[in-house]
Chains A and B, each alone.
Chain A
Amino acid sequence: MTNKIFNILIFCFLPLIINAQSRIEQELQDKIWGKTGAIYQDTKVPEKWKNESAVILFQDYDYSFDKRANTLVNSTTYHIRIALQDKNAVKEYSEFSFSERFSGTQNYQYYRGRTYTGFKIIKPDGTTKIVDLETAVPVTSESNSSEKKIAIPDLQIGDIIDYYYHQEEITIIAYNFHVFEPVLTTLASSYPAKYVRRCFEVEKKFYINYKPMNGAPELKASEDDKLKFFTLEAKDLDKIEGTEWMYVYRSMPAIKFQILYAKNTMMESQFYVFHGSPGKVNSKVTDEEIIKLGKRFLQTEAPKYLLNKFIEKLKENGIDYASLSKQEKIDELYHYLHYKNVTQVLEPYFLNKRGSEPNTNQTEFVSEMIKYLSLMGISGDLILTTDRGYGTLADLLLLQEIGVLLRVETTPGSFSYYSTYSLHPYLKTISTDYEGQPAWAIPFGNGDSNGTEEKITLPVSSYTQNQSTMTSKVKMNEDFETLNASTTYTHQGHNKDWYQYRLTTIYDYLPGELTRYGDKSFIEEVGKKEQHKVQQEIDELKKKQQKDLDERLEEIINDEYKCEGGKVTSFKVLKMGRYQDPNFEYQINSTIPGLVQKAGPNYLLNAGMLVGSQKEIDEKDKTRSVDIYMSSARSYHTEVTFETPKGYIVEGLEKLTYKVDNETGGFISSAQVEKDGTLKIITKKWYDHQYEKAENWPKMLEFLEAAYNFTQTKILIKKG
């Protein structure tokens, strides 16, 4: 009965609901497409951009943050007018998708929303055609989903498309404060833009974080009784092109902003983000705020049993906690926590996601370390810094830019840093994201700390610390077409991670770790009835990991020697490079095709490639205007011993001698025939710094080009 009444009511009011919806849509369209001013009538593409694929004539973002009754209303309108100058652009803008309705829960608060869209085409003769939204079709599911896509009709080269997305999201307030999602974006995009505008309409009592970067404009402010209005405008923006070793937020005009709501200023304390005063634009995070955040982070207490359990574990492993030095205690703790949070849970997690996910969250890990260290009576510093990709502390505005580390003065004047950013941890490295960054050290513990916060600069690793060594013995196969190489690779410091991820499976280190802590393996922990099933899964996982590893090895060899069809005949990990072990070391035996060419009775050997392929810089990338942000300083050493085939001699070794050494790095190589008749090729390439100014690019090119040219060098294997 109730349903019937409801249906009748719906039936009665449906025309009203539909009319209201249409009215909103029409009002929006009138407002957005009815903007006045020359900018919004513009259809002219500047001469300098005539050869671009598309040109943005204007691009507006209007953000609005409002409180209505017990809801927060956040709307975003994206309105763009773009001239399409080639087929690629026409295809790019010929189909759109959108979600008419959406809803969900975030931070335990329910939100729902709607998206309104409008598309119109301006033809070269100035006529305008509005796209009928009724032609949109559903994207996926039969019902319940409001995902739709629409094909834009009559769109041709030379047309201008003018469209908008207006998204209104309503969040039901469950708390007395709310933190809206931050926005961090560049002003330019992949097409050049004549005019870009961002407007913020914010209730006066909301908190506003905003910061322009790299020449982005400041906000212009105005207000009425209830709202504050902020606008930024930028003109004549070139497109952003993908460039290697570039941090876009440090090189291109960009902005970051975030809006916060608190019922009253008393509720400010609930924010776990930086903020200023209500209604005022906050562009700066003060030292005090960072210190306050750090201290808040440190307000944790840990039950004593945690420490007892750790000590017990060490005891089971034959280690007497009391007899350890301070450094050893911390190292053991780090090892233990990493094992507990990451290594131990890996196998069940990989076995079809049983158990918890490995926890590599830096903040949680550092927090846990501090709890233990406090219980152990060891003092240290919580380090708050920023990710290099976002800037320095001076650029800080958003919480997501903060990086958290831990520092302990293990011996006077000597600090050790800890974090868990890697699956394969090593004690003496700081993530490359933070190296060299200014940071705040917030002391904790009650031991020998001096108790005052200090601003520090995080250490930077040198190229000698991040070193890779390749020692290779190569001989010509009997067919004189392929080479056999037996190569040992050793990677240290930051050079290790990439190889460790790619060339190890959990079964390379898990058994040793379990033994270290006297723990049973996962299969021993499950019930007897389950064991058969789990064993099947483990066998399957091992098989899959081995298959993936084999494929990766082949890829690595083919990349290394720039060949197709290279084969790995054997592979062995010699050192894992985890925890205190500085080296990740392995041996690959391989067969390499394509480096030998027949030259009458002689052979040409592409000897340069035996040290491994080198970076290729494309002609168009030889000029550079943006600074160079690399992961770290680093160096690569190779020593190749080539067994000259019997009855042959080598010629042309002088071609293998290079020497480039400047303040950005270098490449040095030599080749000589040893007493035993073998040919020894030695190279060293290094990058002095993790960062170089753009003006140093030509200097970097000197050694990068030298290394590349070296790999193209051939020598003669001459019938003696």
Chain B
Amino acid sequence: MTRFLVLCLLFLQTPLISQRNLPDPADIALAQEMSKTYPDEEVASINYLIDVTFDYNKEKDLVTVTVKTNETLIGLRPKLDFTMAEFYNDQSEVEEIEVLNKKGKKVILDIKRENYTSAGIFYDDAKVAYFEVDFPTIGTCNIVQITKTYKDVRYFVSEYLSAHYPRKKSTLRFTVPAWLNVDFKEFNFDDVNKKISEDPKTGDKVYVFGAENVAPQAKEDYGKGPSHLYPHVLFLYQGYDIKGKSDRGFKEAKDLYKWYRQLAADIGNDRAIVVKKAEELTKNALTDEEKIKAIYYWVQENIRYIAFEDGVAGFRPDNCQNVFNNKYGDCKGMANLTKEMLNSLGMDARLVWIGTKRLAYDYTSPSLGVDNHMICAVKSGDGFLFLDATEEFNELGHYAEGIQGRPIMIEDGETFISAKIPVESHTGNTTKKYQDLAIEDEKLVGKATLEMEGESKADLLYQVNNLRQNYKDDAMRRYLDNGDKTCQVSNISSSDLTNRDGNITITYDFAWSNGISVFGDELYLDIDFEKDFKDLVFDKRKTDYLFDHKIHRVSEIKVAVPEGWQVVSIPEGFVREHEDFFFKIDYSLQNEKVLFTKEIGIPNSEIKAQDFATWNGFVKDLAKQYQEQIVLKKKP
């Protein structure tokens, strides 16, 4: 019997060995070639194809979507276990995942399905199915096949040609039946081919989008959202007409609004619960603006942002009494509470749907992909003031960079008001620093004043107010002295650092030993302690760099020339200007004082990748400029 088993095992070995997933020389050569182009990548895709088809679910009166993915991956590293993931949620399902080796044999997979919560989200309905694909040697190929379905076509938003690994050939194929109305909007389609054909038998229209040598998506912080950067199509559902049933879909923005509004209606707001608080908060308010401020700032201050993204609830606000009682909520819940509190005072407040700057879309392409945020609008004069309570320290009438200029839908009964969030100038975010200094005991000493407005101020207030209160003084000192031990900051005094209104002002005594060097009868003055931006160089970055907000910094430093000394050399001024950034430094001598002024601006809050070389050149020059000393000599 034992001998029989051994023989059986021996025979079994043969097919097993012959089916091993070994690469052929052509695959190895291809992997090596791709490795040269993409040295940091572990795998690449040789061929990516998704096939999207549509069906009508008569029972639920919904259009369903089936997305079949077929992708051949090639290993660029040896002994690699590459994790693949497919996301889904309550509106979609990953039906099937299979991996085949190049010989077509199924690979045994350990597929794990878990809830998926991304950073900053307390709970959402997102789930992930993930599995590891084995690439034992360079050039090993695996074919990944995934079938994913959507219960409702509205939730099928976009498909990308790129991935976080490179794709040699990437194709998106949509087979659209004659009864279905759709449109496609292409984004970042520089090198993408598009073909539309019609099946004469079925009348189905086939849309094919293809690209070759698609670079991997960059893994970079402080960047734009993927919809701005990578080739993809936004799918626009525009209704169906089948078997006597029809739907408009999101043919126009008003259809999208109708759908949003229906979700936001009947959420069971009980305004009576919030009215008492609203009245209490505004009992001393004399004007509408004061009332709005009182409510807005109270929600900012007292409602913790905790994001819940649960299926359809991802688009439906929690009712006002829940958010009020819990003292937490997501953007929709906070917007709805703000609205209800204001309305309870007889004001005209409304919900506003908005997509932040992270999204490249607007309402000319109506889709659920257009919006990812909700705020409140309140009527003020002929216009509206917008209230985003998730921005903890935003002043009334000022808006976070992430929503400025973005198109919005303001609820207005059966229809909506189309508008845009106002865009603010970088000068509204000015940080001004004044220093009136003298030279004493080989130190620069004197008084300094820091003034901040706009988002610079909101940032500082957020940081200060979220620190442990017993660390605040120390943190403020470190903020002002840049953590430089040669600088002493003392007697710090500030305006109310909980007040969102107006500018903040911080005054302090400043002493810096490293700014003065004396050699015999010569004194060298390094006037600018800050030296900001000198190290921000983009030497490896590929995508545009985004700052949190528009930057505008102004410095004015006056240093009294000590008695018995005279200025013999002042560096030349420095100006570098570009439409997206500028640096200006000037030196002068006025009334026995050396005057240094500096202005730095990044008026659009971004440095485009195409301008990195210019930026780097400016910053290199700036760093060099910062090293320039003012020379004083003892009077004879």
Measured CB to CB, the nearest residue on chain A to B39 is A543
B466 with A604: CB separation less than 8 A: no
Residue from B79, B136, B466 in contact with A351 in the complex, judged by beta carbons closer than 8 Å: B79
- Please judge, given known A-B contacts A151-B328, A564-B535, A716-B517, whether A540 and B469 are in contact too, CB under 8 Å: no
Residues of B595-636 contacting chain A, CB below 8 A:
623-624, 627-629, 631
Residue from B469, B471, B520, B629 in contact with A600 in the complex, judged by beta carbons closer than 8 Å: B629
A600 with B568: CB separation less than 8 A: yes
B517 with A604: CB separation less than 8 A: yes
Residue from A90, A137, A597 in contact with B123 in the complex, judged by beta carbons closer than 8 Å: A137
Tell me the complex Cα distance, A616–B325, Å: 48
A156 with B122: CB separation less than 8 A: no
Q: What is the distance, in angstroms, from A212's C-beta to the closest C-beta of chain B?
A: 28
**Could you give, for residues 116-143 of chain A, a 1 whenever the CB lies within 8 Å of some chain B CB and a 0 otherwise?**
0000000000000000000001111110
- Say whether A462 faces chain B, with CB atoms less than 8 Å apart: no
Chain A residues positioned under 8 Å from B471 (CB to CB): 53
- Say whether B468 faces chain A, with CB atoms less than 8 Å apart: yes
- Say whether B137 faces chain A, with CB atoms less than 8 Å apart: yes
B327 with A154: CB separation less than 8 A: yes
- Say whether A513 faces chain B, with CB atoms less than 8 Å apart: no
A156 with B627: CB separation less than 8 A: no
- Say whether B284 faces chain A, with CB atoms less than 8 Å apart: no
- Say whether A112 faces chain B, with CB atoms less than 8 Å apart: no
Residue from B79, B571, B623 in contact with A537 in the complex, judged by beta carbons closer than 8 Å: B79
A53 with B115: CB separation less than 8 A: no
B122 with A151: CB separation less than 8 A: yes
**Could you give, for residues 511-550 of chain B, a 1 whenever the CB lies within 8 Å of some chain A CB and a 0 otherwise?**
0011001011010101000000011010000000000000
Chain A residues positioned under 8 Å from B520 (CB to CB): 651
Residue from B136, B304, B631 in contact with A90 in the complex, judged by beta carbons closer than 8 Å: B304
Tell me the complex Cα distance, A52–B468, Å: 7
Residue from A86, A537, A600, A714 in contact with B78 in the complex, judged by beta carbons closer than 8 Å: A537
A600 with B137: CB separation less than 8 A: no
Q: What is the distance, in angstroms, from B117's C-beta to the closest C-beta of chain A?
A: 8
Residues of B562-586 contacting chain A, CB below 8 A:
568-569, 571
- Please judge, given known A-B contacts A88-B469, A154-B326, whether A714 and B517 are in contact too, CB under 8 Å: yes
Residues of B246-275 contacting chain A, CB below 8 A:
none
Residues of A644-702 contacting chain B, CB below 8 A:
651-652
Chain A residues positioned under 8 Å from B114 (CB to CB): 140-142
A85 with B517: CB separation less than 8 A: no
Q: How many residues of B contact A (CB 8 A)?
A: 52
- Please judge, given known A-B contacts A51-B470, A90-B304, A142-B114, whether A598 and B627 are in contact too, CB under 8 Å: yes
Residue from B78, B113, B488, B631 in contact with A540 in the complex, judged by beta carbons closer than 8 Å: B78
**Could you give, for residues 85-110 of chain A, a 1 whenever the CB lies within 8 Å of some chain B CB and a 0 otherwise?**
11111110011000000000000000
A51 with B469: CB separation less than 8 A: yes
Residues of A70-97 contacting chain B, CB below 8 A:
85-91, 94-95
B537 with A565: CB separation less than 8 A: yes
B514 with A599: CB separation less than 8 A: no
Tell me the complex Cα distance, A598–B631, Å: 10
Tell me the complex Cα distance, A53–B517, Å: 43
Tell me the complex Cα distance, A532–B470, Å: 61
**Could you give, for residues 698-720 of chain A, a 1 whenever the CB lies within 8 Å of some chain B CB and a 0 otherwise?**
00000000001000101110100
Measured CB to CB, the nearest residue on chain B to A352 is B79
Chain B residues positioned under 8 Å from A88 (CB to CB): 466-469
- Say whether B465 faces chain A, with CB atoms less than 8 Å apart: yes
- Say whether A411 faces chain B, with CB atoms less than 8 Å apart: no
- Say whether B188 faces chain A, with CB atoms less than 8 Å apart: no
Q: What is the distance, in angstroms, from B624's C-beta to the closest C-beta of chain A?
A: 6
Q: What is the distance, in angstroms, from B592's C-beta to the closest C-beta of chain A?
A: 20
Residue from A151, A154, A536 in contact with B138 in the complex, judged by beta carbons closer than 8 Å: A536
- Say whether B77 faces chain A, with CB atoms less than 8 Å apart: yes
- Say whether A149 faces chain B, with CB atoms less than 8 Å apart: yes
- Please judge, given known A-B contacts A599-B629, A716-B519, whether A536 and B78 are in contact too, CB under 8 Å: yes
Q: What is the distance, in angstroms, from B613's C-beta to the closest C-beta of chain A?
A: 16
Q: What is the distance, in angstroms, from A76's C-beta to the closest C-beta of chain B?
A: 27
- Say whether A153 faces chain B, with CB atoms less than 8 Å apart: yes
Tell me the complex Cα distance, A621–B248, Å: 69
- Say whether B382 faces chain A, with CB atoms less than 8 Å apart: no
Residues of B61-85 contacting chain A, CB below 8 A:
77-79
Q: What is the distance, in angstroms, from A706's C-beta to the closest C-beta of chain B?
A: 13
A151 with B306: CB separation less than 8 A: yes
**Could you give, for residues 588-608 of chain A, a 1 whenever the CB lies within 8 Å of some chain B CB and a 0 otherwise?**
000001101111100010000
- Please judge, given known A-B contacts A142-B127, A351-B79, A600-B631, whether A153 and B327 are in contact too, CB under 8 Å: yes
- Say whether B588 faces chain A, with CB atoms less than 8 Å apart: no
- Say whether A226 faces chain B, with CB atoms less than 8 Å apart: no
Q: What is the distance, in angstroms, from A121's C-beta to the closest C-beta of chain B?
A: 10
Q: What is the distance, in angstroms, from B280's C-beta to the closest C-beta of chain A?
A: 15
B526 with A153: CB separation less than 8 A: no
B115 with A94: CB separation less than 8 A: no
B469 with A52: CB separation less than 8 A: yes
- Say whether A155 faces chain B, with CB atoms less than 8 Å apart: yes
Measured CB to CB, the nearest residue on chain B to A593 is B623
Tell me the complex Cα distance, A363–B517, Å: 57
- Please judge, given known A-B contacts A88-B466, A352-B79, A533-B137, whether A142 and B113 are in contact too, CB under 8 Å: yes
Residue from B112, B122, B127, B568 in contact with A149 in the complex, judged by beta carbons closer than 8 Å: B122
Instruction: Assign chain A's interface to a size class.
Output: 35 or more
Residues of B447-494 contacting chain A, CB below 8 A:
465-471, 474, 485-486, 488
- Say whether A620 faces chain B, with CB atoms less than 8 Å apart: yes
Residue from B326, B474, B486, B534 in contact with A151 in the complex, judged by beta carbons closer than 8 Å: B326
Chain A residues positioned under 8 Å from B425 (CB to CB): none
- Say whether A62 faces chain B, with CB atoms less than 8 Å apart: no
A94 with B304: CB separation less than 8 A: yes
- Say whether A481 faces chain B, with CB atoms less than 8 Å apart: yes
Chain B residues positioned under 8 Å from A616 (CB to CB): 485
Tell me the complex Cα distance, A217–B112, Å: 50
Chain B residues positioned under 8 Å from A598 (CB to CB): 571, 624, 627-629
B517 with A712: CB separation less than 8 A: no
- Say whether B302 faces chain A, with CB atoms less than 8 Å apart: yes
Chain B residues positioned under 8 Å from A539 (CB to CB): 78
Tell me the complex Cα distance, A312–B525, Å: 72
Chain B residues positioned under 8 Å from A599 (CB to CB): 517, 524, 569, 628-629, 631
Measured CB to CB, the nearest residue on chain B to A718 is B519
Task: Choose among A53, A91, A481, A536 the residue with the greatest number of B CB atoms under 10 Å from its CB.
Answer: A536
A481 with B627: CB separation less than 8 A: yes
Chain A residues positioned under 8 Å from B469 (CB to CB): 51-53, 85-86, 88
A142 with B304: CB separation less than 8 A: no
Chain A residues positioned under 8 Å from B123 (CB to CB): 137, 149
A604 with B629: CB separation less than 8 A: yes
Chain B residues positioned under 8 Å from A153 (CB to CB): 325-328
Q: What is the distance, in angstroms, from B150's C-beta to the closest C-beta of chain A?
A: 19
Tell me the complex Cα distance, A110–B600, Å: 65
B513 with A712: CB separation less than 8 A: yes
Chain B residues positioned under 8 Å from A90 (CB to CB): 304
**Could you give, for residues 604-640 of chain A, a 1 whenever the CB lies within 8 Å of some chain B CB and a 0 otherwise?**
1000000000001111100000000000000000000
Chain A residues positioned under 8 Å from B138 (CB to CB): 536
Chain A residues positioned under 8 Å from B628 (CB to CB): 597-599
Tell me the complex Cα distance, A154–B326, Å: 5
Tell me the complex Cα distance, A621–B617, Å: 40
B328 with A141: CB separation less than 8 A: no
- Please judge, given known A-B contacts A94-B328, A597-B629, whether A532 and B466 are in contact too, CB under 8 Å: no
- Please judge, given known A-B contacts A94-B304, A604-B517, whether A533 and B466 are in contact too, CB under 8 Å: no
Residue from B113, B117, B485, B568 in contact with A708 in the complex, judged by beta carbons closer than 8 Å: B485
Task: Choose among B468, B513, B524 the residue with the greatest number of A CB atoms under 10 Å from its CB.
Answer: B468
In the assembled complex, 6 residue pairs joining A and B whose CB atoms fall closer than 8 Å, in A order, are A149-B123, A151-B306, A533-B78, A536-B78, A597-B628, A599-B631
Q: A141-B115, A149-B123 are in contact. List 13 more A-B contacts (CB 8 A).
A: A87-B466, A94-B328, A139-B115, A149-B122, A151-B326, A153-B328, A155-B304, A537-B79, A597-B524, A597-B629, A598-B627, A620-B474, A716-B524
> Lowest 3 A-B CB distances belong to which pairs?
A53-B468, A153-B326, A536-B78
